[in-house]
Homo-oligomer: A and B are copies of this chain.
Amino acid sequence: MKTRRVPVITLLTDFGTADYFVGAVKGAILSVNPAAVIADITHEIPPQDVETAAFTLLAAYETFPPGTIHFAVVDPGVGSTRRPIIVKAGRSLFVGPDNGLFTYVYDREPAHQTFHITAEKYFRPSPSTTFHGRDIFAPVAAALSKGVKAEAFGPLITDEVRLPTSLTPRIIHIDRFGNCVTNITRALFDNAQHPTLVIKRKVIDTFVDFYSAAPPNTLFAIWGSAGFLEISVNGSSAAKMLGAKRGDAVILKPQKGT
């Protein structure tokens, strides 16, 4: 079987799936490169929530094959002076607004390069001021998928916008199952150590390797599939049980040996 060489273009937006926005982006991509292979990551980022977009992109992008182009558009500043950019990072390319969306990618890929998209010949004719996803980012992503180099779209920049990061342990995401994803990574621990957590005044000192290993109705910590420590309950929502929301502080007590 011959392997298709066309790169994948992933889509990650806050456009929702009820409007024409996602369809218009797909059409704009396919109009430039009818052979493009489009894979939706999500369009359900909460409106204008750049931080959730940044986390979701981080957790998804590395599973895609080399050469994948990630179209990531959560863009409260659309039409203003915020820059449209391309990021070359590791084996991947990213296209979107320069508003911090790629912060975690920058952290994970320190040798990345960022280009300010200025070459208007790659835009749709008469781009709107309200929908750069369709009129700028989509045709640029499609041009990249046809082999145009990132360098061709504009100058290298080094002052990319980053989200304010904080080393304070906290919840950075709550998923569909109510798992509370923290920003705590394994790098903070010896292999032999399991953390004890305190969140919303509840002590969490159960640590398990898989969900159904936990006793019922018990909050536990687990290394999640995105590489971060998560707080979960088997068969129920930890977020509900804790009354937790994104941003809530987590107190970390590394103490228990395995």
Identify the A interface with B (CB < 8 A): 1-6, 8, 10, 12, 15-28, 30-31, 33-35, 37-45, 47-48, 55-57, 59-65, 68, 76-80, 128-131, 134-135, 146-147, 175-177, 209-213, 222-226, 235
Say yes or no: A1-B5 contact (C-beta < 8 A), given A23-B41, A27-B68: yes
Q: Among the listed B57, B134, B225, which residue makes an inter-chain contact with A225, where contact means beta carbons less than 8 Å apart?
A: B134
**Closest CB of chain B to A27's CB: distance in Å?**
3
Residue among A23, A55, A80, A175 facing the most chain B CB atoms (10 A cut-off): A23
Copies of this chain, complex-wide, total 3
The reply to whether B210 and A80 contact each other, CB–CB distance below 8 Å, is yes
A58 CA to B87 CA in the complex, in Å? Answer: 33
The reply to whether B8 and A20 contact each other, CB–CB distance below 8 Å, is no
**Closest CB of chain B to A122's CB: distance in Å?**
15
The reply to whether B30 and A17 contact each other, CB–CB distance below 8 Å, is no
Q: Among the listed B21, B61, B176, B226, which residue makes an inter-chain contact with A15, where contact means beta carbons less than 8 Å apart?
A: B176
**Closest CB of chain B to A184's CB: distance in Å?**
16
Contacts of A35 in B (CB 8 A): 1-4
Q: Among the listed B8, B15, B147, which residue makes an inter-chain contact with A30, where contact means beta carbons less than 8 Å apart?
A: B8
Say yes or no: A56-B212 contact (C-beta < 8 A), given A27-B61, A146-B1: no
**Closest CB of chain B to A126's CB: distance in Å?**
11
Say yes or no: A47-B176 contact (C-beta < 8 A), given A56-B20, A213-B80, A226-B20: yes
Q: Which applies to chain A's interface (DSSP): helix, strand, loop or mixed?
A: loop
The reply to whether B213 and A79 contact each other, CB–CB distance below 8 Å, is yes
Q: Among the listed B27, B224, B226, which residue makes an inter-chain contact with A63, where contact means beta carbons less than 8 Å apart?
A: B27
Contacts of A130 in B (CB 8 A): 210-211, 222-225
Q: Among the listed B30, B38, B209, B226, which residue makes an inter-chain contact with A79, where contact means beta carbons less than 8 Å apart?
A: B209
The reply to whether A129 and B209 contact each other, CB–CB distance below 8 Å, is yes
**Closest CB of chain B to A95's CB: distance in Å?**
16
The reply to whether A12 and B6 contact each other, CB–CB distance below 8 Å, is no
